[in-house]
Chains A and B, each alone.
Chain A
């Protein structure tokens, strides 16, 4: 257990130094950790604080401000639904409703079996293909509630963990 913990810290430390190019700040470091792990563990808060010469309070303040950060591991797959006005006009609310039903959720969060995490996105920047969702960072346009459900079920059926995909 101890060595596992040390390994974890080493990984975080490496991601902080190896993957950051350019100016290093609290925010840039937190984003590097998010890219690596998909969330910000306690260890990362401490590592970022020591790397950037700040207090954990300052790091915590930044991490809890930007809405993309979370502090526990996300589900195997992350599903985002755009709630921007272009998507809203073309039926995003119906997609959210379907997602909540299919995943048995009340709002944003993780499913009980931890296979899915559902989040809103303020604009996935493919508004010309509205309504837009993304699964594991892969954009999908012209969605309907039915197609969204299909995608969820087919991703679930693969049984694999989601990877961050290009795009």
Chain B
């Protein structure tokens, strides 16, 4: 271990001891927690603690992923058990403070779990909770446990060990080889082997080369990239620096959608702290490797997550894809060689380097190594974010961990992989979480969003929603996508208005095919996927709406409200008239 890093580790140990010498309250403050009211809980705790003049550390941590249990709080006194309280309301806070923090007696009635088994308490451990059982947490190992705004918390948990090892014990090519050995494939959608992509960049000339971390995460139903940045931003930074070292890159950019403040603020803070501790900047930890990282924000645009559109966005332009070749490894952002990876992909790298690629291959299936980080939502008992080994069946993830549909009803359908992914019928979910097996079933794993629908959900209505999204978000650069999505939406609209024309299904298939062949990027190429799989798996529902002119399920929305891009452009007219005035 280098001296510089040794010093940081010692500092982090002292920091940890100091924290452990006082009572600590951790509150999950991530986007999901905030939507559940965690800010009220945080403020109430702060008020109570100061009213009682207590010396307590209150940490705003990221989420454990147990969305159903939010607001989620855990309390630990020095030497005492760490107790998790679920669905906390502001009224509960005074008694939690009095009984647990002041008197040292965990409040059993509101407690969901303890961190480690405590014989005196009849409460399951965290890992025994149905949603945690079976999880293998690599990228999410620290989320919910460490304070994402404190680099010393990360280092105390073993953070930057992989970087130290990489920089001082391994050649850059050895880091790349370790990732190759791990079999890591990209988690951004296309499942491309990460080490192969890195090799392209290694072959490109410097000195300025970029590693881009993609947290655009426009897929509705997916929030795991933001979840990583909210819970453990340093794991991304460490992965990025290692990627930079392996490929000889000089700069990193974390690309995040504007408006999601928690991941943005925590990433920015992490970057500043990494600079302050010489983990970024010139001669990192005294090595001869230098690397800079900054955050780049993007406005609302789904296509900006596509790799070349993302580069246009970083340059401040409209997020429209570029023609390829030249490929990003030759001509990327600002014309410099660039490599783009998803946040989850990069977040695995520190553990792969510190524990070895071999270790990673022990988890997962033959061709899909490691874990799948899933976001469960929709009609599901326990919505949230889980990290499970590849190879687990979708059914197990959805029904065992997620608890299935409330009331024990069967799963009717799953929408996976974002709006360019697919729709899977409930009886087809015994396939394993595996890039190739899922693609073969017509539902890509993609970004890991799994939206569950019960028998109230209508496949035709859902297909229209997904097409509406693709139409709204088409960037407009290439016509097969712009006109194709618009035409598809028109057809689905008339189908849903019971005004289907003969041959509409075939017309859609034809359009989908044209879009696939003719579009510039995945948005148009894959935009037909969800309809294609819906038609394949739910022909009866399409027949009911088209031929019998009736809705087959309870939930349908004949009015169908959606945003209108042209309407937003009326703002433009207002503006032009201002200008003329």
Contact A122 B67, beta carbon cutoff 8 Å:
no
Interface string of A119-134 (1 = CB under 8 A from B): 1101111111110100
Contact A72 B35, beta carbon cutoff 8 Å:
no
Q: A52, A85, A93: which contacts B220 (Cβ < 8 A)?
A: A85
Interface string of A1-26 (1 = CB under 8 A from B): 00000000000000000000111011
Contact B36 A93, beta carbon cutoff 8 Å:
no
Interface string of B404-423 (1 = CB under 8 A from A): 00000000000100010000
A167 and B318 contact, Cβ closer than 8 Å, known pairs A68-B300, A86-B377, A108-B564: no
B489 at the interface (CB under 8 A from A): no
Contact B567 A126, beta carbon cutoff 8 Å:
no
In whole angstroms, how far apart are the Cα atoms of A85 and B317 in the complex? 29
A28 and B296 contact, Cβ closer than 8 Å, known pairs A123-B218, A123-B220, A126-B223: yes
Contact A90 B378, beta carbon cutoff 8 Å:
yes
Determine the residue in chain B with the shortest Cβ distance to A61.
B318
Provide 23 A-B residue pairs closer than 8 Å at the C-beta atoms, listed in order of the A residue: A29-B316, A31-B297, A42-B575, A42-B579, A65-B475, A66-B300, A66-B318, A67-B299, A67-B563, A72-B571, A85-B451, A85-B462, A89-B451, A93-B561, A109-B567, A122-B218, A123-B221, A126-B32, A126-B34, A128-B32, A128-B376, A166-B39, A166-B265
Interface string of B550-581 (1 = CB under 8 A from A): 00000101011111110111011011001100
In whole angstroms, how far apart are the Cα atoms of A130 and B216 in the complex? 20
B472 at the interface (CB under 8 A from A): yes
A122 and B469 contact, Cβ closer than 8 Å, known pairs A65-B318, A107-B561, A141-B36: yes
A30, A52, A107: residue with the most chain B Cβ atoms closer than 10 Å: A107
Q: A22, A62, A127: which contacts B296 (Cβ < 8 A)?
A: A22
A27 and B299 contact, Cβ closer than 8 Å, known pairs A42-B578, A72-B571, A129-B35: yes
Contact A122 B297, beta carbon cutoff 8 Å:
no
Question: Chain A residues with Cβ under 8 A from B302's Cβ?
Answer: 122
A151 at the interface (CB under 8 A from B): no
A100 at the interface (CB under 8 A from B): yes
Contact A85 B419, beta carbon cutoff 8 Å:
yes
One of B154-162, B253-261, B389-397 contacting the partner? B253-261
Contact B465 A108, beta carbon cutoff 8 Å:
no
Determine the residue in chain B with the shortest Cβ distance to A22.
B294
Q: Is the interface of B mostly helix, strand, loop or mixed?
A: mixed
Contact A123 B219, beta carbon cutoff 8 Å:
yes
Contact B575 A125, beta carbon cutoff 8 Å:
no
A contact residues vs B (CB 8 Å cutoff)? 21-23, 25-31, 34, 42, 52, 61-62, 64-72, 82-90, 93, 96-97, 100, 107-109, 119-120, 122-130, 132, 137-142, 166-167
Whole-angstrom distance between the Cβ of B22 and the nearest chain A Cβ? 25
Whole-angstrom distance between the Cβ of B273 and the nearest chain A Cβ? 15
B39, B68, B316: residue with the most chain A Cβ atoms closer than 10 Å: B316
Contact B572 A71, beta carbon cutoff 8 Å:
yes
B401 at the interface (CB under 8 A from A): no
Determine the residue in chain A with the shortest Cβ distance to B315.
A25
Q: A26, A88, A90, A139: which contacts B465 (Cβ < 8 A)?
A: A88
In whole angstroms, how far apart are the Cα atoms of A130 and B68 in the complex? 11
Determine the residue in chain A with the shortest Cβ distance to B316.
A25
In whole angstroms, how far apart are the Cα atoms of A132 and B300 in the complex? 18
Interface string of B284-306 (1 = CB under 8 A from A): 00000000001111111110000
Contact A96 B561, beta carbon cutoff 8 Å:
yes
Determine the residue in chain B with the shortest Cβ distance to A122.
B220
In whole angstroms, how far apart are the Cα atoms of A61 and B476 in the complex? 13
Contact B564 A107, beta carbon cutoff 8 Å:
yes
Q: B221, B262, B301: which contacts A86 (Cβ < 8 A)?
A: B221
A67 and B565 contact, Cβ closer than 8 Å, known pairs A85-B466, A126-B31: yes
Contact B562 A85, beta carbon cutoff 8 Å:
no
Determine the residue in chain A with the shortest Cβ distance to B475.
A65
Question: Chain A residues with Cβ under 8 A from B35's Cβ?
Answer: 124, 126, 129, 132, 139-142
B319 at the interface (CB under 8 A from A): yes
A97, A123, A141: residue with the most chain B Cβ atoms closer than 10 Å: A123
Question: Chain A residues with Cβ under 8 A from B220's Cβ?
Answer: 82, 84-87, 122-123, 127
In whole angstroms, how far apart are the Cα atoms of A78 and B301 in the complex? 19
Contact B559 A93, beta carbon cutoff 8 Å:
yes
In whole angstroms, how far apart are the Cα atoms of A70 and B31 in the complex? 25
Whole-angstrom distance between the Cβ of B219 and the nearest chain A Cβ? 7
11 extra interface residue pairs, beta carbon distance < 8 Å, beyond A108-B568, A125-B260, A129-B32: A27-B317, A67-B299, A69-B299, A83-B561, A85-B221, A108-B567, A122-B302, A124-B35, A132-B35, A138-B39, A166-B265
Contact A85 B415, beta carbon cutoff 8 Å:
yes
In whole angstroms, how far apart are the Cα atoms of A139 and B35 in the complex? 5
B217 at the interface (CB under 8 A from A): yes
B473 at the interface (CB under 8 A from A): yes
Contact A83 B296, beta carbon cutoff 8 Å:
no
One of B5-13, B141-149, B379-387 contacting the partner? B379-387
In whole angstroms, how far apart are the Cα atoms of A100 and B562 in the complex? 12
Whole-angstrom distance between the Cβ of B385 and the nearest chain A Cβ? 7
Q: A89, A128, A138: which contacts B375 (Cβ < 8 A)?
A: A128
In whole angstroms, how far apart are the Cα atoms of A52 and B559 in the complex? 44
Question: Chain B residues with Cβ under 8 A from A52's Cβ?
Answer: 316
In whole angstroms, how far apart are the Cα atoms of A82 and B218 in the complex? 13
Contact B377 A128, beta carbon cutoff 8 Å:
yes
A120 and B562 contact, Cβ closer than 8 Å, known pairs A68-B300, A85-B465, A85-B466: yes
Question: Chain B residues with Cβ under 8 A from A109's Cβ?
Answer: 567
- B209-262 at interface with A (beta carbon < 8 Å): 217-223, 226, 258-262
In whole angstroms, how far apart are the Cα atoms of A89 and B353 in the complex? 41
Question: Chain B residues with Cβ under 8 A from A138's Cβ?
Answer: 34, 39
Whole-angstrom distance between the Cβ of A113 and the nearest chain B Cβ? 17
B453 at the interface (CB under 8 A from A): yes
Question: Chain B residues with Cβ under 8 A from A84's Cβ?
Answer: 220-221, 469
A97 and B559 contact, Cβ closer than 8 Å, known pairs A85-B465, A166-B261: yes
In whole angstroms, how far apart are the Cα atoms of A28 and B397 in the complex? 40
Question: Chain B residues with Cβ under 8 A from A129's Cβ?
Answer: 32, 35-36, 67, 70, 383
List 7 tightest A-B contacts by C-beta distance, closest first.
A25-B316, A128-B67, A66-B299, A84-B220, A141-B35, A123-B220, A128-B383
In whole angstroms, how far apart are the Cα atoms of A126 and B258 in the complex? 15
Question: Chain B residues with Cβ under 8 A from A22's Cβ?
Answer: 294-296
- B480-534 at interface with A (beta carbon < 8 Å): none
Contact B579 A97, beta carbon cutoff 8 Å:
no
